[in-house]
């Protein structure tokens, strides 16, 4: 089947206020998701525009206040990175879990342009007592658990690909996606990529904010917080774009297509099974993953099916860190990190 954009595509509304919309990810052929089809995930209503620039404060030798113009005039870096909400595919957990009920569309991809956070931190001069860096958004000011804020360990903060971004796919950020500045943390679930960034604060103790300490943890048990672990790096994952779950096909040749991505290493291979995992076949990868280590990889596999009947098509990605998608995702109370094998049930006539 040939995907084409002659048909208009739309985001799907999941909640109106705050605005949460999913991307029609299976239909988008562009490698970089066009802005009008990007998923949107918000914890609060959109904030008023921040005209005050960016502060770098806390345990630093030289606190900085930078205007957006100053930031844009610095040496820029661009990174293509997938952004996936930790709650993507939450609806597939059994038993079901509470949270924004995302199906497969809380994921998009862009080329991000900005300045490496590292450059700003080195310019400010991190003191030896520093432990973490907190990123403050401007949304949710004065509201419960607001404003939205997250922290990163020093190592990831100083990674040359962690960006203070001002552009997405070559255009200045839109208000919905964090204008004028947002953090981009390639390889991590998207809650780390704080939008409407106004203040960067270097601190000496682990950050205690709600979205850091309570939310965005894997809670393995329904009624106790025992064993909670923070959500950080993207799990290895894949999606079957075509054929769609529960579709009806004719016997013959079908091109099974999909996406695969990971936050650790790059995608090493993708395998497809049409007999519930008895046999696995290697799919063809459309790009060489190491050129864009944080981007999703498009894959395809040609299926010749002569026997009518019901089939399950499964896709399983493996990354160079040695991780493989499990048959069942690890259940957790808040429904994060769903990464069981991609699955499409089809009937062949
Ligand atoms: N300031 C702020 N940053 C935020 C959020 C938010 O609500 N406020 N949501 C986070 C989450 S959970 C996700 S999945 C991504 C969504 O980014 P997008 O709306 O640009 O797709 O932004 C992250 N950064
Ligand atoms: Mo998210």
How confident is the model at residue 288, as a pLDDT? 80
Quote the distance between the C-alpha of residue 4 and its chain's center.
Answer: 24
Q: What is the dihedral of CA 188, 191, 197, 200, to 10 degrees?
A: -60
DSSP state of 8: -
| Predicted confidence (pLDDT) at residue 1 exceeds the cutoff of 60 | no
The string of pLDDT tens digits covering residues 255-290 is: 999 999 999 999 999 999 999 999 999 999 998 878
The string of pLDDT tens digits covering residues 295-328 is: 999 999 999 999 999 999 999 999 999 999 999 9
Q: Which residue puts its alpha carbon closest to atom 14 of ligand 1?
A: 85
CA angle in degrees (0–180, nearest 5) for 269-86-280: 25
CA angle in degrees (0–180, nearest 5) for 108-106-237: 80
The per-residue b/e assignment along 237-272, b for 16 or more CB within 10 angstroms, e otherwise, is bbbbbbbeeeeebeeeebebbbbbbbbebbbbbbbb
| Most informative mutation of 21, 24, 36, 41 for ligand 1 (most atoms within 8 A of CB) | 41
State the ligand closest to the CA atom of 42.
1
CB 204 within 8 A of CB 156: no
Confidence class for position 6, pLDDT limits 50, 70, 90? low
| Most informative mutation of 195, 198, 234, 334 for ligand 1 (most atoms within 8 A of CB) | 195
| CA–CA dist 229, 333 (Å, integer) | 12
Confidence class for position 175, pLDDT limits 50, 70, 90? very high
| Structural domains for the chain | 12-215 (3.90.420.10), 237-348 (2.60.40.650)
The string of pLDDT tens digits covering residues 218-229 is: 999 999 999 999
| Predicted confidence (pLDDT) at residue 3 exceeds the cutoff of 90 | no
What distance in angstroms lies between residue 166's CA and the mean position of ligand 1's atoms? 15
> pTM of the full predicted structure?
0.97
The pLDDT of 8-18, averaged and rounded, is 95
């Amino acid at each position: 089947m040939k995907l084409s954009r002659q048909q208009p595509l739309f985001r799907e509304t999941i909640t109106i206020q705050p605005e949460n919309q999913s991307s029609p990810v299976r239909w988008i052929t562009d490698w970089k998701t066009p802005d009008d089809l990007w998923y949107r995930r918000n914890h609060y209503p959109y904030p008023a525009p921040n005209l005050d620039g960016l502060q770098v404060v806390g345990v630093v030798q030289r606190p900085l206040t930078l205007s957006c113009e100053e930031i844009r005039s610095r040496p820029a870096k661009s990174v293509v990175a997938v952004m996936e909400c930790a709650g993507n595919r939450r609806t597939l957990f059994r038993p079901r879990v509470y949270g924004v009920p995302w199906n497969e569309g809380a994921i998009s991809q862009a080329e991000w342009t900005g300045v490496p956070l590292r450059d700003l931190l080195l310019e400010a001069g991190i003191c030896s007592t520093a432990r973490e860096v907190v990123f403050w958004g401007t949304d949710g000011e004065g509201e419960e658990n607001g404003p939205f804020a997250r922290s990163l360990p020093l190592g990831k903060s100083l990674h040359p690909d962690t960006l203070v971004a001002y552009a997405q796919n070559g255009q200045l950020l839109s208000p919905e996606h964090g204008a004028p500045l947002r953090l981009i943390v390639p390889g991590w679930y998207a809650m780390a990529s704080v939008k409407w960034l106004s203040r960067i604060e270097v601190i000496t103790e682990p950050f205690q904010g709600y979205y850091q300490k309570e939310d965005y943890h894997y809670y393995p048990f329904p009624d106790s917080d025992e064993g909670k672990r923070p959500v950080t790096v993207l799990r290895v994952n894949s999606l079957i774009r075509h054929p769609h779950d529960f579709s009806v096909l004719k016997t013959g040749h079908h091109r099974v297509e999909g996406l695969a991505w990971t936050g650790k290493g790059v995608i090493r291979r993708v395998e497809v099974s049409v007999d519930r995992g008895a046999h696995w076949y290697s799919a063809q990868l459309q790009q060489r993953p190491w050129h864009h280590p944080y981007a999703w990889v498009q894959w395809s596999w040609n299926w010749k099916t002569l026997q009518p009947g019901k089939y399950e098509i499964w896709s399983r990605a493996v990354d160079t860190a040695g991780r493989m998608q499990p048959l069942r995702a690890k259940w957790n109370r808040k429904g994060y990190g769903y990464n069981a094998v991609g699955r499409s049930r089809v009937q062949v006539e």
